Amino acid sequence: MWTYIVRRTLYNIPVFLAIIFLMMAALRVSDPVSAQLSKNPSPEEIKLKKIEFGLDKPFVVQYGIFMRQLVFLDFSERSWDQEFTVKEMITKSIPPSMAVTIPTLAITASIAICVGLISAFYRGRAPDKILMFIAVIGMSISVLVYIMIGQYWGAYLPSNVFKDWPFQISVDASAGSSPWFFFIPSNWVAYCMLPVIINVTVALGYDTRFYRAVMVEESQKDYIRTARAKGASVKRVMFVHMLKNAMIPIITRIMISLPFIITGSILIEVYFGIPGMGRTLIKAINAKDFPVIQTFTALFAALFIASNILTDVLYALADPRVRLS
């Protein structure tokens, strides 16, 4: 297995280099200096900014410099837009995002798999139709609508009635500067639980439909009929036989979502004031803050490649027929 992991990692190095190259080239189509100038910029100010940003150097040199920073894990370059290093911005933004995305992923996957199983079991009958109708409705409504309604009806209105209502409208200054603030249970309930509920509601529709399709396909296989014929209970057939054999698509779905736990959710973070990666990233994109965009993209690409390799390893663990070679 380790040989396989090492080989796959080596194969992916050119892919990683190409991703960074393309991303850096695409970013440089527009001029980032304009976004950082004063109200009345002089050609002198523009020239100094270009030198400061290293944009006066040839593209290949810029690429080389960034690759060197990646190899040595040197993220001390300063953001072009804020007075903080890229390392500070990313390390302070990822934990708050994860306080929302990890519970969202875990809850959504658990509920969606169960609903998918139930729906597949009652395929074509009323429970299936009702569940799928709810799923389609859930995924058809924009997340923005859920946020606005959730914030108003889930936090603002009840807090006017119940003094100790747990959900807050948004994160305020009392949260301080620690990125781990949201991992304290009482803070998590106050600031993250409502966003998680909204995220789960939105994601549930997509996941439920996917898992239902997987389970329906699985339920039509011969081994299910055999298990039923041998007298296995419905519960055992569903949660032991069927679920075990459906693990490959489930692993694929979950693993593909895994890198996104660091990206956060832009709208959720902006509305609920969660100082996460989604908010940092959209701000960086708007301000053409290349150091932050580049570093984050590199991090995300590395995570994506790692999760792909891990997916293959998990396939082998989940299904004895799969051999890593």
Partner 1 sequence: MSIWTRTRRNIVLATASTAIFASSALSAGVQAPKDDALKVMQLPIRTDGPKSLDPVVGSTTYDNMACAQFYETLLTNKYASPMEMEPLLLSEMPITQDGGTTWHFKLKPEVYFQDNACFPDGKGRLITSDDVFYSIKRLADEKYKLKNWWLLDHTILGFNEYKDIQNAADQFDYDAPVEGFRKINNTEFEIVLEKPVYRFLYILSMFQTSVVSHEAVEFYGENFARNPVGTGPFILDTWVPKQSMTADRNPNYHAVFYPERSEWSKVDKRNRLHRAAGKQVPFVDRIEFTMFAEDQPMWLEFSKGKLGFSQVPEDYFTEAFDLASKELTEEYLRKGIRYHSNMLLDFTFRGFNMEDEILGGYTPDKIALRRAISYAIDLDEINKTFYNGRQIVYDGPIPPGLEGHPENHRADAAARGPNLSKAKKLLAEAGYPNGEGLPPIRFLTSQSAINNAVGEMVKRQLAEVNIKFEPVYLDFSTLIENINKKKAPMFGFAWASDYPDAENNLALFYGPNESPGSNHYNYKRPEYDALYEKILTMGPSDERTAIYEQMRDMVLDDCAYVGGMARERFYLINPWLRNCKPTERYYGWFKYLDVDDDARN
- Regarding 153 and contact with partner 1 (CB under 8 A), the answer is no
Binding to partner 1 by CB under 8 A, coded x per residue (else -) over 241-280, reads: -----------------------------xxxx-x---xx
- Regarding 56 and contact with partner 1 (CB under 8 A), the answer is no
Shortest distance in whole angstroms from residue 298 CB to partner 1:
21
- Regarding 166 and contact with partner 1 (CB under 8 A), the answer is no
User: Using an 8 Å Cβ cutoff, are 271 and 170 in contact?
Assistant: yes
Residue closer to partner 1 by CB (options 12, 79) is: 79
Shortest distance in whole angstroms from residue 25 CB to partner 1:
17
- Regarding 86 and contact with partner 1 (CB under 8 A), the answer is no
Residues 110-149 that bind partner 1 (CB under 8 A): 148
Q: Of these, 16, 21, 183, 210, which contacts partner 1 (CB under 8 A)?
A: 183
Identify the burial level of 257 via C-beta atoms within 10 angstroms of its C-beta, where 0-12 means exposed, 13-18 middle and 19 or more buried.
Answer: middle
Q: Of these, 20, 24, 89, 120, which contacts partner 1 (CB under 8 A)?
A: 89
Residues 15-54 that bind partner 1 (CB under 8 A): 30-32, 34-35, 37-46, 48-49, 52
Residue closer to partner 1 by CB (options 177, 325) is: 177
Shortest distance in whole angstroms from residue 215 CB to partner 1:
25
Q: Of these, 21, 170, 300, 302, which contacts partner 1 (CB under 8 A)?
A: 170
* 3-state SS string for the chain: CHHHHHHHHHHHHHHHHHHHHHHHHHHCCCCCHHHHCCCCCCHHHHHHHHHHHCCCCCHHHHHHHHHHHHHCCCCCCECCCCCCEHHHHHHHHHHHHHHHHHHHHHHHHHHHHHHHHHHHHCCCCHHHHHHHHHHHHHHHCCHHHHHHHHHHHHHHHHHHHCCCCCCCCCCCHHHCCCCCHHHCHHHHHHHHHHHHHHHHHHHHHHHHHHHHHHHHHHHCCHHHHHHHHCCCCHHHHHHHHHHHHCHHHHHHHHHHHHHHHHCCCHHHHHHHCCCCHHHHHHHHHHCCCHHHHHHHHHHHHHHHHHHHHHHHHHHHHHCCCCCCC
Residue closer to partner 1 by CB (options 12, 263) is: 263
- Regarding 293 and contact with partner 1 (CB under 8 A), the answer is no
- Regarding 91 and contact with partner 1 (CB under 8 A), the answer is no
Residue closer to partner 1 by CB (options 272, 304) is: 272
Site for partner 1, rule CB under 8 A: 30-32, 34-35, 37-46, 48-49, 52, 78, 81-84, 89, 92, 148, 151-152, 155-156, 159-160, 169-178, 180-181, 183-185, 270-273, 275, 279-280, 283, 286-288
